[in-house]
């Protein structure tokens, strides 16, 4: 819980700046120790080996576009597995601001159809309102999925390579009915639900659990194994925050300041974060 709160608090604070980008755990890195900067390139290669490069090719065999790199560099293993991490090691760093933009700037309008956030973390308005500008509430949705994944052992929506419409169906399974105008305009709806909102026979088999049941399966089940089960008061506050951050309508989601001052943040996340920082001194 302490480590989780530390990550969540720092991610939230980073969101206070006037920009929006892809908020998910693949973009949360761990800072390298300062001693790493003291290594020369030769010393780095001697200690960790030279970079392993892999040619980049297209599946269809066609030439690469000019903006694509000819080679990819394999990740470097620094010799420490996650279970060996200590609190001093766990210093998160937000990355991948290549598509960050300021929604408040007229010159930086980004429409839903141009959203490149991975589908498991993408806010539903990017799918259901293709011509509407994206804004800060889209980050609040993505942030909720990141906090959920930190707290538990499984993402709230599928991180497998599934079609976007399947993710939308999961939104309905987990959160309940979507806005009626979105529901009516969703072209693939009949593949997943009938006119009354009941799942089709094939979808009934793969139906995702509700938010409350997902919490039991994705969070509590795993925490019980290590003696870290969340009590009822914290559970209620956490689910209330998740429910608000995962509101279908962007305008109904809390601002980042409201998230920071939510009951769960004030009573549980920040106190744990502060305790973890004192332990580092």
Query: Does a structural domain hold residue 49?
Result: no
Query: Does a structural domain hold residue 40?
Result: no
Residue 16's pLDDT is: 46
Reported as a single tens digit per residue, the pLDDT across 81-103 is 877 877 777 778 887 777 777 87
42 vs 161, more confident: 42
Query: Does a structural domain hold residue 22?
Result: yes
Reported as a single tens digit per residue, the pLDDT across 182-192 is 999 999 999 99
Read off the pLDDT band of 2 (50, 70, 90).
Answer: very low
Query: Does a structural domain hold residue 84?
Result: no
25 touches 82 (CB < 8 A): no
Chain Cα centroid distance, residue 206:
22
Residue 64's pLDDT is: 93
Q: Which helix (H) or strand (E) holds 55?
A: strand 53-55
- How far apart are alpha carbons 234 and 151 in whole angstroms? 12
Q: What average pLDDT does range 66-71 have in this prediction? A: 90
**Planar angle of CA 86, 91, 96, nearest 5 degrees:** 135
What CATH number is associated with residue 208?
1.10.510.10
Query: Does a structural domain hold residue 192?
Result: yes
- How far apart are alpha carbons 254 and 14 in whole angstroms? 16
Reported as a single tens digit per residue, the pLDDT across 17-31 is 445 556 778 888 888
Q: DSSP for 167-219?
A: HHHHHHHHH-PPPHHHHHH-TTGGGTB-TTSPBPHHHHHTPPPPHHHHHIIII
The helix/strand/coil state of 267 is helix
- How far apart are alpha carbons 239 and 244 in whole angstroms? 9
200 vs 281, more confident: 200
- How far apart are alpha carbons 276 and 56 in whole angstroms? 42
* Token pair of 206 as six digits: 């793969």
Instruction: For the chain, count helices (H), then strands (E).
Output: 13, 4
- How far apart are alpha carbons 24 and 139 in whole angstroms? 10
Query: Does a structural domain hold residue 57?
Result: no
Query: Does a structural domain hold residue 167?
Result: yes
What would you report as the CA-atom Rg of the chain, rounded to the nearest whole angstrom?
A: 21
Reported as a single tens digit per residue, the pLDDT across 205-263 is 889 999 999 999 999 998 888 878 899 999 999 999 999 999 999 999 999 999 999 99
Query: Does a structural domain hold residue 269?
Result: yes
- State the residue range of the domain holding 191: 6-29+89-279
| Tally of structural domains, the chain | 1
Residue 22's pLDDT is: 61
Residue 18's pLDDT is: 46
Q: 153: closest CA among 82, 47, 70, 64?
A: 82
Residue 67's pLDDT is: 83
- How far apart are alpha carbons 224 and 220 in whole angstroms? 6
């Amino acid at each position: 819980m302490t480590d989780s709160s530390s990550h969540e608090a720092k991610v939230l604070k980073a969101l206070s700046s006037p920009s929006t980008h892809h908020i998910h755990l693949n973009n949360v890195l761990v800072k390298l120790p300062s001693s790493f900067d003291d290594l020369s390139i030769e010393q780095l290669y001697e200690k960790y080996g030279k970079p392993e490069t892999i040619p980049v090719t297209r599946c269809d065999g066609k030439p690469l576009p000019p903006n694509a790199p000819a080679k990819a560099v394999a990740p470097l293993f620094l010799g420490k597995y996650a279970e060996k991490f200590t609190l001093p090691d766990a210093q998160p760093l937000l990355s991948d601001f290549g598509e960050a933009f300021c929604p408040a700037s007229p010159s930086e309008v980004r429409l839903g159809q141009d959203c490149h956030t991975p589908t498991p973390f993408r806010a539903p308005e990017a799918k259901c309102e293709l011509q509407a500008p994206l804004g800060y509430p889209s980050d609040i949705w993505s942030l909720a999925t990141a906090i959920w994944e930190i707290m538990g052992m499984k993402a709230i929506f599928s991180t497998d390579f599934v079609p976007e419409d399947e993710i939308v169906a999961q939104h309905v399974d987990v959160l309940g009915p979507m806005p009626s105008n979105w529901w009516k305009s969703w072209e693939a709806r009949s593949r997943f639900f009938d006119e009354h909102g009941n799942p089709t026979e094939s979808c009934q088999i793969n139906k995702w659990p509700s938010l409350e049941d997902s919490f039991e399966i994705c969070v509590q089940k795993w925490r019980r194994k290590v003696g870290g089960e969340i009590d009822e008061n914290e559970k209620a506050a956490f689910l209330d925050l998740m429910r608000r951050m995962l509101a279908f309508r962007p305008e109904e989601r809390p601002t980042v300041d409201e998230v920071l001052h939510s009951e769960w943040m004030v009573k549980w996340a920040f106190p744990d974060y502060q305790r973890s920082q004192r332990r580092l001194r």
